[in-house]
Chain A
Amino acid sequence: MVLELARPRPIWQIMFSTHHTDVGLLYLVFSLLAMFVGGAMAIALRIELFAPGIQLIEDSMTYNRLFTAHGTTMIFLFLLPSAAAVGNYLVPIMVRYKDMAYPKLNAIAFWMIPPAAALVWLGMADFGWYANPPYSVISAPAPAAEMWIFGLKVLGVSSILSSINFVVTILKCKHPDLSLGKVPLLAWSFLTSSIIVLAAMPTFAAALLMLLTDRLGVSGFFNPAMGGDPIAYSHLFWFTFHPEVYVLVIPAIGMMYEIIPRFSRRPIFSHSSGVAAFIILALVSFASWAHHMFATGMSFTEKTVFMVGTLAAVPASAMHVFNFLATMWNGRIKFATPMMFAVGGIALFFAAGAGGVVNTAMPLDFITHDSYWVVGHFHLFVFGTIAFGTIGFVYYLFPYITGRMYNEKWGVVHFILAFVGACITFFTQHILGLFGMPRRIYDYPEIDSWISMNALISVGAMIILVGMVIFLGNMIYSMAKGKPANLEDPFGLGGKYYYPFAQRNPQHGEGGY
C-alpha cells in the first residue's frame, strides 16, 4: 500500500482491489470526506445558532434537514468507516494473516457505503438521526424519509458484513502460534465491537422495516392513530444505538492502546485488564439502552435496572484510563501529534464519562433530559474521544500510507485548536443545558445567558473548523511534498511496530511495495 505516490497505480486498481490495505485506504478516504461534509453542516448549524433570529438558514425545515444529515453523516459515514479503515489496515497484520478472511465481502461492504451516503445526502430527511415516530411515520416528507430508511438499511448490512469479516479473521484466521491472550488490544477492540454490531444491528434493521411499512400505511407499529406505540420504536432504536456508542468508542480506545505504549516507549501496563474491560463494556452496552427514556414514564424498577446497568460501564472505562496512565508512568514520552491526540482524547473521555454519570442518575436525568447538556455530553464523546483517537491514528498511519511524513508543527497546531475548540464548544453546551436551553431547536428567545453561551459555542466550533482546515492542508501538502519517512521507524521511537507496508499487495507487482 505504501508509497503509492512513489509507485503510482491507476486509481481503478485501488477501487476494485480486494486487498485489505486497499480497502482500508478506500474506507479512510471516504470517511475523511464524510467528516468534512458533516463538519460543514455542523458549521452551518452553529452559524444559525450564533444569535437569535435568522442568521443563515431561512427556515426550520432546512435546519432540521441539515442536523439530520449532520448526525447521520458523522456517525454512519465518518466514525464507523474510519474505524473500519484502521481495522482493515492492521487487524490482518496483527493476527498474522495474509488478508481479511473474506476479501471480496470486505470490498462489497465498503462499496455499499457510497450509494447509502448518496441516499442520505440527496434525500435530506428532517426527522433527526433517531427518525422518531410518530413524526417520522405521519408527517416526515417523502421521498426524503424513505431514502434515509433505505440508506440506513444498506449501511446496516455493510456493518454486519464488515463485522463478520473481522470476527472470522481474528478468531479463525489468526496464526496458530498466536493465542487470543496475545492478540494485540487493537485487534481485541475490533473483535468486541464487531460482536456488538452482530448482536445489536438486526434489531434496528427490524425497526427500520417496521417504520417503512408504517409509512406505507400497511402497518401501525409506531402510529398511535392505528394503536401503535412510538415508545416501542425508541426501545428498538436504543437497543441498537446505545451499544453502537461502544461500537464507536471501543475501536478508538483500541487505537489509543496502540499509540500510547509506542510513544511512551513502554509495553502496555496490563493487557489482560484491557481485554477484560473491552468484554465488560461489550456486555454492559446491552444493559443500558433505556436510560435514554427515563422521562417516558417507565416504572421505578425499570429505571433502577437501567441506571445500574449504565453505571456498570464506569469501572470498565476507568480500567482503560488507569491502564493508559500506568503505561505512561515512568515512560519517556514523545509528544508527536498522534500521542497528543491520544492523551487529549483520554482527558476528554474522562470528562464525557463524568457527564454521562449525571445523565444516568435517575433524578438528575430529569434536569438534563432533552437539553443542550445531552448535546454537549455526546459530542464530547464522539468528537473529544472517538474522533480524537481516530484523527491521532490517521497521523500515525500517514507515513505508512504515503511514505512521507506530515508536518509536525502544523499537526501540533491542529491538536491545540481541536482541543481548545472542543473544550469551549462542548463544556459550554453542558452549561447551556443547565440554563434550560432545549436541544433540536432552530431558534431561541433573547435570553442574555443563552445568547452569550450560544455565541461562545459557535466561536469554539469555528476554532475546530480552523484546526480541521489545517489538518486537510497538512495532509494534502505532505502527501505531495512531505519529507520521505523512515518506514522502519517513522517517529524515531525504536521498538517493534506493526508495519502495514510489509503486507504484500499483489497489485504492487514484483519488488513489493
Chain B
Amino acid sequence: MSKIFHLSIIIATLFIIPTISLAFAAETAGEYIDRKAEIWNLFFRMMTVAFVVGGVIAGTMVWQVWRFRESNPNSKPTEYEEKGEF
C-alpha cells in the first residue's frame, strides 16, 4: 500500500503539478517564452514514459504472438478445446 502511495506522489510531482503550472502560464503573456521551453521539456518526459510503457506492452504482445501461436512447437491444446467452451 505504501508503495502505491509513494508512486502516486512521484507521478503527481512529475506530471500533474508541472501541468497545472504550465496551463496557468499559457494564460500569462510574460511567461510564455520560457514556459514554451518547459512545455517541450514536459513533452519529451511524457513521451519517454509513453514509449517505455508502450514498449513493455508491445513487447508483451509480440512475445505472446510468438509463444502462443498455433505453430509453435511448445504449443499445446488449451483446457477449453475439448469441451468446446470458448
**A480 CB-CB contact with B under 8 Å:** no
In the complex, the answer to whether B23 meets A332 with C-beta atoms within 8 Å is no
Q: How does the 8 Å CB contact mask read for A328-367 relative to B, with 1 for contact and 0 for none?
A: 1111111100000001001100110010011001111011
Residues 254 to 284 of chain A near chain B (Cβ within 8 Å):
261-262, 264-267
**B10 CB-CB contact with A under 8 Å:** no
Q: How far is the CB of B51 from chain A (nearest CB, A)?
A: 8
Which of A266, A300, A354, A366 meets B78, CB within 8 Å? A266
**How far does the alpha carbon of A426 sit from the alpha carbon of B18 in the complex, in Å?**
29
Contacts A261-B86, A364-B46 given; does A332 touch B54 at CB 8 Å: no
**How far does the alpha carbon of A358 sit from the alpha carbon of B43 in the complex, in Å?**
8
Max chain B Cβ within 10 angstroms of own Cβ: one of A262, A300, A364: A364
Contacts A325-B64, A357-B46 given; does A332 touch B81 at CB 8 Å: yes
**How far does the alpha carbon of A328 sit from the alpha carbon of B75 in the complex, in Å?**
13
Max chain B Cβ within 10 angstroms of own Cβ: one of A265, A304, A357, A367: A265
Q: How far is the CB of A324 from chain B (nearest CB, A)?
A: 9
Q: How far is the CB of A124 from chain B (nearest CB, A)?
A: 38
Q: How does the 8 Å CB contact mask read for B52-85 relative to A, with 1 for contact and 0 for none?
A: 0110011011001100111000011110110011
In the complex, the answer to whether A328 meets B26 with C-beta atoms within 8 Å is no
In the complex, the answer to whether A350 meets B39 with C-beta atoms within 8 Å is no
B side interface size, CB within 8 A: 36
Kindly state the interface size class of chain A when it binds its partner. Answer: 35 or more
Q: What residue of chain B has the Cβ atom nearest to residue A336's Cβ?
A: B70
Q: How far is the CB of A334 from chain B (nearest CB, A)?
A: 5
Which of B53, B60, B80 meets A265, CB within 8 Å? B80
**B19 CB-CB contact with A under 8 Å:** yes
In the complex, the answer to whether A496 meets B69 with C-beta atoms within 8 Å is no
Count of A-B residue pairs with CB < 8 Å: 105
**How far does the alpha carbon of A361 sit from the alpha carbon of B22 in the complex, in Å?**
10
**How far does the alpha carbon of A262 sit from the alpha carbon of B27 in the complex, in Å?**
52
Q: How does the 8 Å CB contact mask read for A455-486 relative to B, with 1 for contact and 0 for none?
A: 00000000000000000000000000000000
In the complex, the answer to whether A357 meets B50 with C-beta atoms within 8 Å is yes
**A44 CB-CB contact with B under 8 Å:** no
**A494 CB-CB contact with B under 8 Å:** yes
User: In the complex, which residues of chain A have a beta carbon less than 8 angstroms from the beta carbon of B68?
Assistant: 264, 328-333
30 A-B pairs in the complex with CB atoms less than 8 angstroms apart: A262-B86, A264-B68, A265-B77, A265-B78, A265-B81, A266-B80, A267-B85, A267-B86, A300-B24, A300-B27, A321-B57, A325-B64, A328-B64, A328-B65, A332-B68, A333-B69, A335-B70, A343-B65, A347-B61, A350-B57, A354-B53, A358-B46, A358-B47, A362-B23, A363-B39, A363-B42, A364-B42, A367-B39, A494-B81, A496-B85
Residues on A close to B: CB < 8 A? 261-262, 264-267, 300, 303-304, 307, 321, 325, 328-335, 343, 346-347, 350-351, 354, 357-358, 361-364, 366-367, 494-496
